[in-house]
Amino acid sequence: MPIARAHSFALVGVHGHDVEIEADIQNGLPGLLLVGLPDTALREARDRIRAAITNSGEQWPLRRITVGLSPASLPKRGSGFDLGIAVAILSAAGSVPADAIDGVAFLGELGLDGQLRPVRGVLPAVAAAAASGFRRVAVPRANADEAALVPGLEVLGAGTLGALIGWLRDGPAAGAAGPVQVIEGGTAPGGEQARQPAAAGPALDLADVLGQPAARRAAEICAAGGHHLCLLGPPGAGKTMLAERIPTVLPRLGAAAALEVTSIHSVAGVLPDGRPLLTAPPFCAPHHTASKAAIVGGGSGVIRPGAASLAHRGCLFLDEAPEFGRDVLDALRQPLESGEVVVARSGLTARFPARFTLILAANPCPCARGPGQRAACECTPAVRRRYLARLSGPLLDRVDLRARMLPITTLAAVAEPWESTAQVRSRVIGARAAAAARWAGHGWATNAEVPGPVLRTRFALPAGVVRPLDSALRAGEITARGADRALRVAWTLADLSGRDRPDRELVETALFFRDRRVA
């Protein structure tokens, strides 16, 4: 009997790789042999697939079945290959015409009763299928809206294996085993409402933050240029409240960025129900007990993205930053520079996008009692230095903005009207538009992405403008990396003020927000 071939996709990081599934049925002792580096979950697919096929009313071949997954050198993990293996076996048995599965990619997990269950990572897998020239993809109905975000192919959303086999065998007129949803790629059923973030509690507004003009200004610069921010202050000063409101002033994600962010959340299995496309900048705030793998990604067996990648194109907020493990914080240094996380394992290297805005919040000392309180802080200067030293110098050197927040000592601040999210957001969007127009020909979207050598050469400022930076360098107050980051902040300040280029005053302001005495 001839060999039947179907196709599925394996994920390495957020990149899909074509896997050819070959099924060969020969005379011999009945059984199913899987070859091609399957993991434990995939080896267990033998029993799931047999039960699903028989419970779908199809005949299981009572002969020796060999299924090969190619390329054999690529590790295959997870249950997403179930559907492709079942279709290949039925095609080899003659139950499904070979031409019906030609040019079709299959993704999905099978239940024992033949139900098709959703799997992770459908969006990047379908995107890879479209790039590889496939004209059609078959997925569980629960993943159909997500798969339909990719243009250039037709999506078959099936609820059961029997429904899909009937459609492949008899075409759209088949209805004995249940309907198959056919969606043209590039659309998301459910309309624009499905693309919007679901309401979760009261709306956050910057007007809720009382006082703190310097910190509010630093937060606005952070949002406008994508700069990293460190907030230092006692409990109750509003550090967490301010950090949570920074994403509300950011512009919505563009089409390419939204697909990229959605792909990462799909691989992690945290894509919200009913929201096939994420268009709001993500905000991740892991607890200080999180492990290194939870922050930067990893894990045993299947490599999953961490909080740094889930915050891609958004904000990663580390509250009580000194309480995080030193190795966890230092693991962020590489993605802060490169914008991606590289997780290396034996025989496999996974890359996850991680261009996020880092926001650190810290108390000034272990007791967290600010000045002026009834039981004022009695920590010695050495204790304070030792506590903040948990944030390593190389990590803080990569943080562009530092702001100290003071305790609220009067209720007069409550009555004073503070700027709302809408007011700040309009300035942030204008500044980001100016930066995007300036860097459009170079491939950068924000000032924080621009390499330092470019700012010092092609976009060099006059000597008189950068003289404060030279003085700070000679005095050892900043490093060369710190000077580059101050230049980026100065360009953002220029965009916020509507100027074409930074002047000396803006450079001095950028240096003020890098003052080591703040953090």
10/20 Cα distance (integer angstroms): 10
Round the average pLDDT of the chain to a whole number and report it.
89
pLDDT < 50: residue spans in the chain:
175-177, 189-200
Identify the DSSP state of 267.
H
Instruction: Tell me what pLDDT residue 177 has.
Output: 47
Instruction: Give Cα 292 to chain centroid, integer Å.
Output: 16
Instruction: Tell me what pLDDT residue 197 has.
Output: 45
Instruction: Tell me what pLDDT residue 358 has.
Output: 98
Q: Residue 295, SS3?
A: helix
pTM of full prediction above 0.85: yes
In the chain, where are the structural domains located? 4-190, 219-368+379-409+419-512
- What confidence tens digit (pLDDT) does each residue in 436-478 have? 999 998 989 999 999 999 999 999 999 999 999 999 999 999 9
Q: State the burial class of residue 464 (Cβ atoms within 10 Å of its Cβ: 0-12, 13-18, 19+).
A: exposed
Q: Residue 273, SS3?
A: coil
Going from the C-alpha of 306 to that of each of 234, 244, 267, 270, 517, the distances in angstroms are 29, 19, 11, 11, 32
Instruction: Give Cα 183 to chain centroid, integer Å.
Output: 26
519/514 Cα distance (integer angstroms): 9
* 283-284, strands of its sheet edge to edge: 283-284, 315-318, 357-362, 229-232, 401-404
Structure tokens at 444: 């950068």
16/127 Cα distance (integer angstroms): 8
Instruction: Give Cα 134 to chain centroid, integer Å.
Output: 26
356/471 Cα distance (integer angstroms): 31
Q: Which amino acid is it at 384?
A: R
Going from the C-alpha of 294 to that of each of 120, 241, 268, 306, the distances in angstroms are 18, 24, 11, 5
Options 3.50.50.60, 3.90.226.10, 3.20.80.10, 3.40.50.300; CATH for 219-368+379-409+419-512 is 3.40.50.300
Structure tokens at 284: 């991740």
Q: Residue 116, SS3?
A: strand
The sign of the dihedral angle between the CA atoms of 125, 128, 132, 134 is: positive
Instruction: Tell me what pLDDT residue 517 has.
Output: 55
Instruction: Tell me what pLDDT residue 411 has.
Output: 61
Beta bridge partners of 155: 137, 183
Q: Specify whether domain 4-190 bears CATH 3.30.230.10.
A: yes
